[in-house]
Amino acid sequence: MTEVYINSADSFDQALKRFNKMVQQTGILAEARRREHYEPPSVRRKKKAAAKRRKTMKNALRA
Model pLDDT for residues 5-61, shown as the tens digit of each residue:
888 888 999 999 999 999 999 999 999 998 999 999 999 999 999 999 999 999 999
Whole-number Å distance between alpha carbons of 21 and 58:
29
Predicted pLDDT of residue 3: 86
pTM for this predicted structure:
0.55
Q: Which amino acid is at 2?
A: T
Is 63 or 55 the better-scoring residue by pLDDT? 55
Q: What residue spans define the domains of the chain?
A: 12-62
Render 11-59 in DSSP notation, one character per residue. Answer: -HHHHHHHHHHHHHHHTHHHHHHHTSS---HHHHHHHHHHHHHHHHHHH
Residue 63 has pLDDT above 80, yes or no: no
- Alpha carbon distance 44, 15 (integer Å): 36
